[in-house]
Amino acid sequence: MSFLSQVRLSILILAAIPTIIYAQVPIDVSMRVDEIFAPWTSVSSPGCAVGVAVDGLTVLERAYGMADLEHGVPNKPETIFEGGSVSKQFTAAAIMLLALDEKLSLEDDIREYVPEVPNYGPTITLRHLMTHTSGLRDWGSVAGISGWGREQRSHTHEHVLDIVSRQSAANFDPGHEYSYSNTGYNLLAIVVDRLAGMSFADFSKERIFEPLGMNSTQWRDDYRRLVPGRSSAYAARPGGNWVINRPIEYVHGNGGILTTVGDLMIWNEALTDGRLGGPDFVRMMHNERGRLSNGAEIIYAGGLQHGTMGGVRSVTHTGSTAGYRAFLGRYPDHKLSVAMLCNASNVSTGGTGSSVARAFLGDAVTEPPLQNQLLCQPWSSNVTSASTETP
């Protein structure tokens, strides 16, 4: 019997016992999950929270390491973390809901809503922004070149618009290439701000978070705001030392979602069961994949990356902002969902998150994982630079 079959049998047995919340996870799978997070279990280390659902039911929620090293507060399953670029699917969802409201079309010119974007000739559509095929430069990279990188200034959406408005050309004509750029998702958040009759944060709360019961989720639209239960974030340094590494910016939409693993698993189910926006919303989130001018379809749709892991179909996204790391994955053919949130910069988002999925999928995975995929080098520049967003 496969691991997932054992879990499903446990769910059936326990269904008649309402006081029991979780199904029994096979001991070898449970031990493997603990082994994956073993590097982040010390009281002197930040760590992670992880959640797993099978058939829409939570079967595992655990936490490792510390939420706050200065005050000795441990991580818990309900600890709030920042989700990095996992946030993008929520921004895409807001746009999709406005499309279903017939307030916009994905084929609309971004300049219809954000005229600050220069006219480069060919039309840049909302779909181009959503699928990273717009050709617009990543504003954070441009800011870094100018000497005001994301770790050196509390950037706002006004800063983003200023940077975009001063670009004399795009990197390529829209639709010609796929190039991951945070700029598109900041512009999409601004579109919601200007079109919804309320702020992007309020729209998300009213149309997404509250209807789904995602009660611990909000946007970090003001990094100074107190958020009870939020972890601090840390960057690793050689010798096992840690320094505080929190984002100091107001920009959001590209990143900036504050959430828990429990809320992310609620969201993952909503992406399949139609409870938010009905079947049309589910179809749009998954099927509006980018297509290049030459007809080639890309892996990206609605803030979601479609692919395979070891021969198993997957829908995933990772996230990285300052010292926060995140992974959210679904494996539709096996009705498996994995959410991981961390406050340690040396966690390999895709490697660690997919390792949890492999533990549950067992023999369904036909290809071995890459070696040494759990830990990043703690002192590498791509890990410790503050306030970065990566795929």
User: Does an H or E element contain 218, and which?
Assistant: strand 218-219
347 near 376, Cβ under 8 Å?
Answer: yes
Provide the domain count of the chain: 1
The domain of 157 spans 3-384
List alpha helices for 108-256, DSSP H. Answer: 126-130, 139-145, 157-165, 183-195, 200-204, 210-212
390 lies in a domain?
no
- Domain at 250, CATH number: 3.40.710.10
329 lies in a domain?
yes
138 lies in a domain?
yes
Q: What are the CA-CA distances from residue 56 to residues 220, 337, 345 (Å)? A: 28, 8, 30
Residues 6 or more apart whose CB falls under 8 angstroms from that of 336 comprise 4, 52, 53, 54, 330, 357, 360, 361
119 lies in a domain?
yes
Supply the pLDDT for residue 18: 44
Q: pLDDT in tens for each of the 391 residues of the chain?
A: 555 656 555 544 444 444 444 567 899 999 999 999 999 999 999 999 999 999 999 999 999 999 999 999 999 999 999 999 999 999 999 999 999 999 999 999 999 999 999 999 999 999 999 999 999 999 878 776 665 555 656 889 999 999 999 999 999 999 999 999 999 999 999 999 999 999 999 999 999 999 999 999 999 999 999 999 999 999 999 888 999 999 999 999 999 999 999 999 999 999 999 999 999 999 999 887 888 999 999 999 999 999 999 999 999 999 999 999 999 999 999 999 999 999 999 999 999 999 999 999 999 998 877 554 555 544 333 332 333 444 5
301 lies in a domain?
yes
Supply the pLDDT for residue 388: 40
With 0-12 / 13-18 / 19 or more C-beta atoms within 10 angstroms meaning exposed / middle / buried, residue 273 is exposed
391 lies in a domain?
no
* Residue for token pair 């001063």: 166
Write out pLDDT tens, residues 327-380. 999 999 999 999 999 999 999 999 999 999 999 999 999 887 755 455 554 433
Write out pLDDT tens, residues 232-264. 999 999 888 999 999 999 999 999 999 999 999
List alpha helices for the chain, DSSP H. Answer: 3-14, 27-36, 88-100, 126-130, 139-145, 157-165, 183-195, 200-204, 210-212, 261-273, 278-287, 349-361, 381-384
- The DSSP output letter for 30 is H
389 lies in a domain?
no
15 lies in a domain?
yes
**Hey, which bits of 17-169 come out as E strands?**
48-54, 57-64, 66-68, 73-74, 81-82
